[in-house]
Structure 1
């Protein structure tokens, strides 16, 4: 059954393609503020424009995700992944041609509109293997994302130094076109059995279906909270590193190295979390991952130096990496195959809105209390969420 749906061949091909997309995204995003300066935005307005061009993609993608997810269920996951790859590639290439900030804003909005590769690919991964292997397959897929996130910023910097900033966008577009072609020629569309078909016919009914299943509602909230937590920390990391070492000189490079080391540690442990979730229950594993992440983030709020902070970041990486693949595996477990694209679309919406809320919350905490309190608040929040997951889903014997 699994092999007739593409099996692990699908999983590995989609993982490689998703790694390419992740590399393209992360090698471009760090340079957007610099690109705005190149486009003529004044220094005192770059922060404002950066926030706008970052947020517009998340907002539009969040709105469109359930629509693309529903179309993936009704028209095919493979064609939706190809559509997303091609149009995101076009958006990247257009970004390389923009002449002012407004045009950049438009291409960033187009990227958000075209989004949908990840939920379509994740749905195909979950349907390509037997149910008992779903956690492992999604763990492999998540590892590809992490590897892309680690490689992207450094690769983007090397390409920018060698050929300039605009060619980076053109290269990213070409990579997206190649990934789309690979999906077209080599990925097999997983088949969904008729008896698993869900009879929802409108977006309102889709949301009603999710609301009726409290476990799916809990999972959507967990996706939102987790993405908010991640995006609370990333924008301020370089500033906190600079504060810990007493100077901003070299802070960006050092923070990038710390993130990369944490990411590599996470890449090593992703499949361990997936295997643990399959054996002991996904929610139980989520509890451990959230609690560990929260504890080490809480400890990072203590300004005891770079060595202390960097060592804890390795542990953060080992724990935080387990959350998303475990949540995705739980979504696959609780959702019928014919409805899975729509639910993964909704999880993407939760992620995108979390990406919007997280930086805003971090900005408020930093302004009112200080940078280190972002780590304290985020750590305490994740430990509280871990307790709630234990109380609602593990203690009640609903571990799966």
Structure 2
């Protein structure tokens, strides 16, 4: 088997496991807060717990990206995997929200398994197959999004959330060992100069296409994360009971993942044919429409069906953004580019839950759906108007990448 295919298989499995572990823990934090005695401002606490990890990631990602360009993406994958193993395992032992907040901050500061996996695959895959490879990684993340809530919800229902969190840590350890033993980074050219955070931002500032892709990631992440802190609570409302709330929420969360697994390969092949920009617009338009369509339904079955349709379109978005980043950077800048991409993603992920939690507390959970839909409409317009340059409209290049500014070489 060719090395790039072997890497894709191993990191597909690893991404699936890490994504599953994430969704075994994070969607159930609002319910876990109730179990450890938090009964006031639960929505606000939920938003804070989501946001603090993303804040840590936003601060640290450029640093880890510069180390990835200097020492390789594989060492960063291994480092992040061991950190996630430790933080998920420690989550099983917390007894108050402040301990949980500290662990979530540490997780954000030190993680990065999936972003570095994307960078490694984007660099070590033939250009004609980049769209397909990135979509497969996205499908792995979506598959983890299916298995994680189901497994986490079932373990929480049969045993406890603590058992589910500890199990997530063990699974991440398995993914880390797989990468350690079988991933091989062939096309790695170490940076010849000492890279600073300032020079990373300076070089990125000269690359308009990269800045556009980073902005899209930030605004998209902010938009969709406004609903994340409260959606589990909303599902419990639709179910008219908190009994078995973790299990029901896990099933509903998994439907979006199922749609992503089914449709992500289609969007990946389509992006290799017609370009990342067009696929990105399809995904954003569909995501906007089906976000609004979640508003009229007030039973868990109809809501679940709409969430599935939402996932079928929105799964096109992040692989397309990642493809634009691969297309707009040279390989020796790729680690830093995806470090900045993670920063943009984490900033959006940090701000979105805070806004969503405040909106839900001030109005209602339905109010958050309106805010999310309007924000996605704005992002769609931004994408249409700011990606109209010829280079961003062209189909993916085969064998040539648009370089960063000459000063960065």
TM over 0.5: yes
Give the Cα–Cα distance (whole angstroms) in 1 for the partners of residues 7 and 131 of structure 2. Answer: 15
Please identify, of 323-332 and 172-181, the stretch whose mean Cα deviation from structure 2 is larger: 172-181
Give the Cα–Cα distance (whole angstroms) in 2 for the partners of residues 167 and 367 of structure 1. Answer: 30
Give the Cα–Cα distance (whole angstroms) in 2 for the partners of residues 322 and 365 of structure 1. Answer: 28
* Among 185, 210, 219, the residue aligned to 1:216: 210
2:7 aligned counterpart, secondary structure: helix
Q: Retained in 1: the 8 A contact 2:131–2:271?
A: yes
- Pairwise CA distance, 1:304: 7.2
- Pairwise CA distance, 1:118: 1.6
- Pairwise CA distance, 1:167: 3.2
Residues 1:357 and 2:351 aligned together = yes
- Pairwise CA distance, 1:292: 1.6
Give the Cα–Cα distance (whole angstroms) in 2 for the partners of residues 379 and 97 of structure 1. Answer: 37
Q: Retained in 2: the 8 A contact 1:223–1:351?
A: yes
- Pairwise CA distance, 1:373: 3.9
Counterpart for residue 372 of structure 1: 366
Give the Cα–Cα distance (whole angstroms) in 2 for the partners of residues 199 and 326 of structure 1. Answer: 31
Q: Retained in 2: the 8 A contact 1:244–1:303?
A: no
- Pairwise CA distance, 1:193: 5.2
* Among 285, 304, 310, the residue aligned to 1:316: 310
Give the Cα–Cα distance (whole angstroms) in 2 for the partners of residues 239 and 101 of structure 1. Answer: 18
The 1:27–1:249 alpha-carbon spacing in structure 2 relative to 1, beyond 3 Å, is closer
Counterpart for residue 11 of structure 2: 14
Counterpart for residue 145 of structure 2: 149
Give the Cα–Cα distance (whole angstroms) in 1 for the partners of residues 305 and 280 of structure 2. Answer: 22
- Pairwise CA distance, 1:249: 6.0
The 1:335–1:305 alpha-carbon spacing in structure 2 relative to 1, beyond 3 Å, is same
Counterpart for residue 170 of structure 2: 174
Please identify, of 142-151 and 291-300, the stretch whose mean Cα deviation from structure 2 is larger: 291-300
Richer in helix (by share): 1
- Pairwise CA distance, 1:391: 2.5
Q: Retained in 2: the 8 A contact 1:287–1:387?
A: no
Give the Cα–Cα distance (whole angstroms) in 2 for the partners of residues 167 and 249 of structure 1. Answer: 19
Q: TM-score, normalised by structure 1?
A: 0.88
* Among 87, 110, 115, the residue aligned to 2:111: 115
C-alpha root-mean-square deviation of aligned residues, in Å?
Answer: 2.8
Give per-residue Cα distances to partners, 1:191-247, cap 9 Å, x unaligned.
2358xx6868321121121121111111111111221222122333355556667x4
Counterpart for residue 126 of structure 2: 130
Q: Retained in 2: the 8 A contact 1:59–1:356?
A: yes
Give the Cα–Cα distance (whole angstroms) in 2 for the partners of residues 160 and 281 of structure 1. Answer: 42
Q: Retained in 2: the 8 A contact 1:8–1:128?
A: no
- Pairwise CA distance, 1:375: 2.8
* Among 219, 229, 234, the residue aligned to 1:235: 229
- Pairwise CA distance, 1:49: 4.3
Give the Cα–Cα distance (whole angstroms) in 2 for the partners of residues 385 and 318 of structure 1. Answer: 18
The 1:163–1:304 alpha-carbon spacing in structure 2 relative to 1, beyond 3 Å, is closer
Residues 1:63 and 2:59 aligned together = yes
Counting only pairs closer than 5 Å after superposition, residues 176-325 of structure 1 correspond to structure 2 as 176-192=172-188, 201-238=195-232, 240=234, 247-248=240-241, 252=245, 254=248, 256-303=250-297, 309-325=303-319
Q: How many residues align?
A: 393
| Structure 1 gaps, min length 5 | none
- Pairwise CA distance, 1:10: 0.2
The 1:167–1:306 alpha-carbon spacing in structure 2 relative to 1, beyond 3 Å, is closer
The 1:249–1:184 alpha-carbon spacing in structure 2 relative to 1, beyond 3 Å, is closer
Give the Cα–Cα distance (whole angstroms) in 2 for the partners of residues 192 and 343 of structure 1. Answer: 15
Give the Cα–Cα distance (whole angstroms) in 2 for the partners of residues 42 and 307 of structure 1. Answer: 29
Give per-residue Cα distances to partners, 1:117-170, cap 9 Å, x unaligned.
122111111122101111100100011101111111221122234443433333
Q: Retained in 2: the 8 A contact 1:284–1:394?
A: no
1:158 aligned counterpart, secondary structure: helix
Give the Cα–Cα distance (whole angstroms) in 2 for the partners of residues 135 and 394 of structure 1. Answer: 20
Give the Cα–Cα distance (whole angstroms) in 1 for the partners of residues 232 and 28 of structure 2. Answer: 15
